[in-house]
Amino acid sequence: MPNGIPDDPKRNRKAIRTEDHPLEYLEFHGEIPRGQYGAGTMTIWDSGTYEAEKWRDDEVIATFHGERLRGRYALIRTGADGKDWLMHRMDPAVDPGAEPMPEAIVPMLAKPGRLPGGRPGSEGDRWSYEIKWDGVRALVYSEPGRLRLESRNGRDITASYPELRPLNRALSHHRAILDGEIVAFDADGRPSFARLQQRMHLTGESQVRRRARDVPVVLVLFDLLWLDGHSLMDRPYDDRRGALEALDLSGPAWQTPAAHLGDGAALLQATAAQGLEGLIAKRRDAPYEPGRRSSCWIKVKNVNRQEVVIAGWLPGEGRRESRIGALVVGVHDEDGGPLRYAGRVGTGFTEQALDALAETLGPLRTDENPFGRGGPKGAIWVRPCLLAEVEFTEWTTEGLLRHPSFKGLREDKDALEVVRELPGDARELHLEGQVVKVSNWSKVLWPQTGFTKGRLVDYYLRIAPAILPHLEGRPLTLKRYPNGVDAQHFYEKNSPSHRPEWVHTARVSTGRKAIDFTLVENVATLGWLANLASIELHTSLSRADPIERPTMLVFDLDPGPPADIVACCEVGLILRGLFDGLGLVSAAKTSGSKGLQVYVPLNEPDLTYDDTKPFAKAVAELLEAQVPDLVVSRQTKTLRPGKVLVDWSQNDEHKTTVCVYSVRAKERPTVSTPVDWDEVQACHDAGDPELLVFDTDAVLDRVAERGDLFAPTLSVVQRLPKL
């Protein structure tokens, strides 16, 4: 299309037919070297689907559903040789101000807080109130013939909720991006996140449909971000809400619940009575702020309560200048231990309560800080024997009460009994100055062995000195199993948006879009990932900067049954001999599954994947030629039974391999373990696969006794020779 795509039925555009291209080229983009056919830059201008209405040798009519090209067009041949055609737009002229639909929008988030307004006629009139739904956030991208659902962190979840696909028909000809929450309800009609978890992460079509009958969901829509070529995100909330309601989206699996004006306190009280989570207050004049946790949206939860130990007070200011300004309070950890600072309580007091507190606390004054260290400067300390009850919205990541309010003194409990109340079976870990909350500590992740989430966390924290050097700086793909190894799992490349601020990330271009990968730079991040049930850790062969320069080669030896790891050992020893002959040091580790992996450390700053990938392929093909009865270098399934696949393809900028010391999601918690070549030889000679199977306890013992056998891969510098 030398002059572009026609945007008006009155103006046709010249079209020149190209030669046919194989489907393998569908997603190719990049530089084709000079001297080769098609040399130059190849880019993808658009991608999508089409519906062919008419298909003749001299005329084609089709409707396109692309990111940029949309509508009904005719292609009409004009030259006898079949090369010259013209393109005619059959739909009305394109809106000149229309813009392409954004590929991705990061949702706006609410800040926790209190109700912002009072009674009607006051500050409250500037706010609208919506029910806070206990579900999962979802952005809807819809255009004629196509609908996509994305989670808060950008994961495509369309396949998990097939009952929402008809929303595309309900939107008719509109192209739209909507914001909402997917919710499952219990038998009493209340949102139930526990029920929704039965639907999350399912991907198999039959499994999804079967579970959808038992646990139906509803998409609650509350915002409209983009409509028919125009962004609404800069428009006030009231305008967006009005445009959303004008679409009249109410169906069997989607609803647009009413927004409420006026008395937010009464509505909050009603949600508490109905057992709902709370409210979201939204500034009516505020724009939509993608990716930002904004004070224009405030989430107000129905309150939590906590007993606290009074450790002292801070003198008041202003009208409280001669009185108590705020109580300094603390709690014990769940497992006892010293008193920890939990914040200051400065609201909720009546005048009478302040007088009574002053009278009660006066005789308890002491010069000794009950926390040992910590707490606010200028505090007047007291002996920690008096208890109070407070309301608060949530615990912060620093272990402090957010928005605590005094409710009264408690005289029915001993101060040593007061511990921080964490929901369910939870723990709080203090790792290198950071607080990591671990939920469901006793949850069994490996049903056949009873291995729990707590033991997974414990392993990763204990193996940290060995694994961290191998993770440092490398983009990480998470493989998460929130309901155990026998349940559905999912890969996660984009670092979760709810990550703590001390978790580092690296933005890496993957071709069509950039991804913010998680970086594991400290023990706290390792503990946080274990809490997410990220059982497997898959890393790039290069560091994030520069991503295009691998630090090592890898050959993944994958046995095709009935072959097993013993056959992999034979191939691994052949590889080692080959590399010895080339003057290259090599190292081996188990995959933690059924195979073996052979690495060649490089750490040569001038190498790129354009050097390593062809070399790896040549080595694999050489082995296949030398021992064709044992080795295959292609992924073709029919070639693999009884042979070992030497997978060279993982030497690629966009691929990852399981990290050394990563746990694997198998029947038991096995680990990808470094082994020396004597152990590989011993396994081969004995013909016993179990000799190279190591679980978490065995790996911890090996590292304690022998150190990190894989450490040389981080420091050995080698150049690739010519084969």
- What positions carry a catalytic annotation? 132
Pick from 494, 645, 639: which is nearest to 555 by CA?
A: 645
Distance CA 394, CA 112 (A): 8
Sequence-separated (6 or more) residues with CB below 8 Å from residue 396: 402
Distance CA 481, CA 475 (A): 20
Q: Identify the three-state secondary structure at position 97.
A: coil
CB atoms within 10 A of CB 56: 9
CB atoms within 10 A of CB 178: 24
Give the angle 525-551-558 at the CA atoms, nearest 5°.
85
**Contact predicate 136/152, CB 8 Å:** yes
Strand runs labelled E in 253-412 = 254-255, 260-261, 278-283, 293-301, 304-315, 324-333, 336-345, 380-392, 394-395, 401-402, 405-410
Residue with tokens 């490349």: 493
Distance CA 61, CA 54 (A): 5
Dihedral angle over CA of 249, 250, 256, 261, nearest 10: 100
| Strand-pair category, 596-601 with 514-519 | unpaired
Backbone angles phi, psi at 44, to 5 degrees: -95, 110
Distance CA 634, CA 260 (A): 61
Distance CA 102, CA 142 (A): 11
**Contact predicate 220/167, CB 8 Å:** no
Pick from 256, 260, 235, 234: which is nearest to 247 by CA?
A: 256
Pick from 592, 579, 597, 581: which is nearest to 541 by CA?
A: 597
Q: Is the peptide bond before 112 cis (omega within 30 degrees of 0)?
A: no
Distance CA 703, CA 529 (A): 22
* Overall residue count recorded for the chain in this entry: 723
Query: Tokens in use for 283?
Result: 């500034």
Backbone angles phi, psi at 565, to 5 degrees: -65, -20
| Strand-pair category, 304-315 with 324-333 | antiparallel
> Is residue 409 classed exposed, middle or buried when 0-12, 13-18 and 19+ CB atoms within 10 A define those classes?
middle
Dihedral angle over CA of 372, 375, 378, 384, nearest 10: -60
Pick from 453, 452, 419, 450: which is nearest to 436 by CA?
A: 453
Residue with tokens 């090209």: 69
Pick from 533, 563, 541: which is nearest to 665 by CA?
A: 533
> Is residue 297 classed exposed, middle or buried when 0-12, 13-18 and 19+ CB atoms within 10 A define those classes?
buried
163 secondary structure, DSSP code: G
Pick from 449, 450, 387, 453: which is nearest to 424 by CA?
A: 453
Query: Tokens in use for 719?
Result: 């150049």
